[in-house]
Amino acid sequence: MATTMTDAHAAHAQDHHEPSFLRKYVFSEDHKVIGIQFLFMSLFFLMIGGLLAAIMRWQLAYPTDPSRPLPGAGLFPETMVNAGIILPEFYNSAVTMHGTIMIFFAIMPLLVGVFANYLIPLQIGAPDMAFPKLNMMSFWTAFVAGLIIMAGFFVEGGHSAAGWTQYVPLSADPEWTGVYTGQQLWLIAMTVLGFSSLMGAVNYITTVINMRAPGMTWLRMPLPTWALFITAILILLAIPVLTGALIMLLFDQTIGTTFFTVATGGEPLLWQHMFWFFGHPEVYILILPAMGFVSEIISAGSRKPVFGYNAMVLAIVAIGFIGWIVWGHHMFQSGMNPTLGMSFMVTTMIIAVPSAIKTFNWLGTMWRGDLHFHTPMLHAVAFVAMFVIGGLSGVFVASTPVDIFLHDTYFVVAHIHYVLFGGSLFAIFGAITFWFPKMFGRMMNSSLGKIHFWLTLLFFNLTFFPMHNLGIAGMMRRIYDFTQYEFLTQFQGLQVFISWSAFLLVATQVIFAFNFIYSLFKGAEAPQNPWHANSLEWTAAPSPPPHGNFERTPTVYRGPYEYSHPDAADDYWPQNAPGHAAPASEPAYAE
């Protein structure tokens, strides 16, 4: 008996032993550390993706102009940049890898890897994820995928040059692009990354279903968690289809199968269908979490409940569901039966309904609110505005007759960037600023944040809005040298304008990077609840939360958006405050 006691005691003592540096920060099983690891990794990839875009913009401003050599051309080998001129092979790789890295290694992990990991357990009142070890593996698998995708730049033949959509035969046959090893590394990296996403998704879904604190009913969950939950379901069901397609393509290249080879009966269109069957839910994977963050920030920034919380939840679910039956709208020009194209057009248009519900509800939330335009709020409001522009250009390309004209032009480039940069990335900047004090215990600098916001908004629009015009004028996307077409040479000046706006847009991000790093070490000490928000991560968990999050499991009494409630003592009413007891008042973070 005594021995057992001693053993138990020893085991207990061991549990509370301070974990080693490696266990605490590197191979950590704490969902918050994993989220922050994803944050650093995906911000690195965001930078790489941005630099690739800058290289493309240099070529488009001064196409193969020896008098305007690419700055820093000496850094590149002659197979990429020769005598200051960006070679077409490298340009194709840059286009491909800009898309791939931004979508799969920057925006997707920023939205899901960072915030699903960091927020879900905190917002539902759970001590950690359901499977902490799996969660750790999810990050390190993504890290390995990141190494593989970066390795592609350094192999002979350069990186994949088939576009982020990897259409066959361009991607299947090295004869077309001259890329062999890089192409296979692309496929392998994406397969590995798929496993990472899958592990994450299993974790998020199980955690949300099974580990909510007492009183945290489905309709009391904060909207970021709702959005991330539906996103996780989309990841769970969409990624395996991509994996299947990637494996087929990899087999075609390596062991000589013939899935996509026309000569032996393969079907190139099969790739397009499989890719977009994954690819369209992917689009919503990239926007739903952003919508969740924006709902949270706008409600807190307006000191009003989210207008139509239930409708917001239903809209998330509806978008998540309808997103499965619209993939054909990427393939209107692939020779599909016009009747089928028509039905894809209708389902696509239907998605505008829940999207519009969300937009009107954000406006309804702000309407007559006590608006606090702090940095996260600015980003959230910009999200709504830019998302509306991107959504409206989406209606154009979703219409089959209009798409005949606009397909594969810069109009599509403008559209994707309005939803993915103007939408997702603004929401990400907002969310990072909003939850930074929770993550690191310090505030990000407000003045720098606002300067970064206004310059980004300005240069973003100067960069991408004119692309609508270029597209309508007939400029093709992914084109290396547009001056080979007589009718496009008139836009030389506009191209230079767009490119310099883009360079300034990239340069503006240095402000964000500086603010991020500076605030990490020197930022003002953050109060426990700087935005006077209601959800559990602010009201129940210490800041920054320790391993295990809550001292004791919180009990939830109400929804997350009870701002300015007449019965509450303050203008916010924490989810875990019992009855009418006034929350302990503390000063809000002064703007």
Contact residues: other proteins, CB under 8 A: 130-131, 198, 201-203, 205-206, 209-212, 214-218, 220, 236-241, 243-245, 247-248, 251, 255-259, 261, 264-267, 270, 273-274, 555-558, 578-580
Angstrom CA distances, 568 to 160, 534, 557, 582, stand at: 58, 12, 13, 6
- What is the closest distance, in whole angstroms, from the C-beta atom of residue 202 to other proteins in the complex? 5
Q: Which is nearer to other proteins, 40 or 218 (CB)?
A: 218
Q: Which is nearer to other proteins, 19 or 240 (CB)?
A: 240
- What is the closest distance, in whole angstroms, from the C-beta atom of residue 250 to other proteins in the complex? 11
DSSP state letter for 420: I
Both tokens of 231, joined, read: 């996103």
Q: Which is nearer to other proteins, 200 or 449 (CB)?
A: 200
Cβ atoms < 10 Å from Cβ of 310:
10
Going along 62-175, which residue ranges are E strands? 81-82, 85-86
User: Could you please report the per-residue DSSP string of 448-495?
Assistant: HHHHHHHHHHHHHHHHHHHHHHHHHTTPBTT-S-GGGSGGGGGGHHHH
> Would you say 158 and 96 are in contact if contact means Cβ atoms under 8 Å apart?
no
DSSP state letter for 85: E
Helix-strand-coil split of the chain, %, nearest 5: 70, 0, 30
Q: Which is nearer to other proteins, 82 or 264 (CB)?
A: 264
- What is the closest distance, in whole angstroms, from the C-beta atom of residue 166 to other proteins in the complex? 15
- What is the closest distance, in whole angstroms, from the C-beta atom of residue 21 to other proteins in the complex? 29
> Would you say 231 and 112 are in contact if contact means Cβ atoms under 8 Å apart?
yes
User: How many angstroms from the chain centroid is the CA of residue 85?
Assistant: 32
The residue whose two tokens read 């087929």 is: 248
Q: Which is nearer to other proteins, 193 or 238 (CB)?
A: 238
Both tokens of 186, joined, read: 């692309």
- What is the closest distance, in whole angstroms, from the C-beta atom of residue 556 to other proteins in the complex? 7
Cβ atoms < 10 Å from Cβ of 131:
16
- What is the closest distance, in whole angstroms, from the C-beta atom of residue 189 to other proteins in the complex? 18
CA geometry: angle 184, 190, 194, nearest 5 deg: 145
Q: Which is nearer to other proteins, 216 or 228 (CB)?
A: 216
- What is the closest distance, in whole angstroms, from the C-beta atom of residue 550 to other proteins in the complex? 16
Nearest to 96 by CA among 154, 149, 140: 149
Q: Which is nearer to other proteins, 192 or 556 (CB)?
A: 556
Nearest to 440 by CA among 506, 554, 387, 519: 519
Q: Which is nearer to other proteins, 445 or 576 (CB)?
A: 576
The three-state secondary structure class of 81 is strand
Question: From CA 465, how far away is CA 414, in angstroms rounded?
Answer: 7
* The three-state (H, E, C) secondary structure of 172-234, written as one string: CCHHHHCCCHHHHHHHHHHHHHHHHHHHHHHHHHHHHHHCCCCCCCHHHCCHHHHHHHHHHHH
- What is the closest distance, in whole angstroms, from the C-beta atom of residue 56 to other proteins in the complex? 32
User: Residue type for 503, please?
Assistant: F
Q: Which is nearer to other proteins, 206 or 492 (CB)?
A: 206
DSSP state letter for 162: S
Q: Which is nearer to other proteins, 89 or 282 (CB)?
A: 282
- Helix ranges (DSSP H) in 337-425: 338-366, 375-398, 400-406, 410-419
- What is the closest distance, in whole angstroms, from the C-beta atom of residue 36 to other proteins in the complex? 24
- What is the closest distance, in whole angstroms, from the C-beta atom of residue 578 to other proteins in the complex? 6
Q: Which is nearer to other proteins, 210 or 489 (CB)?
A: 210
Question: From CA 32, how far away is CA 35, in angstroms rounded?
Answer: 5
Question: From CA 481, how far away is CA 269, in angstroms rounded?
Answer: 28
- What is the closest distance, in whole angstroms, from the C-beta atom of residue 236 to other proteins in the complex? 5
- What is the closest distance, in whole angstroms, from the C-beta atom of residue 574 to other proteins in the complex? 12
Q: Which is nearer to other proteins, 97 or 172 (CB)?
A: 172
> Would you say 135 and 117 are in contact if contact means Cβ atoms under 8 Å apart?
yes
- What is the closest distance, in whole angstroms, from the C-beta atom of residue 238 to other proteins in the complex? 8
Q: Which is nearer to other proteins, 555 or 564 (CB)?
A: 555
Q: Which is nearer to other proteins, 74 or 265 (CB)?
A: 265
- What is the closest distance, in whole angstroms, from the C-beta atom of residue 134 to other proteins in the complex? 8
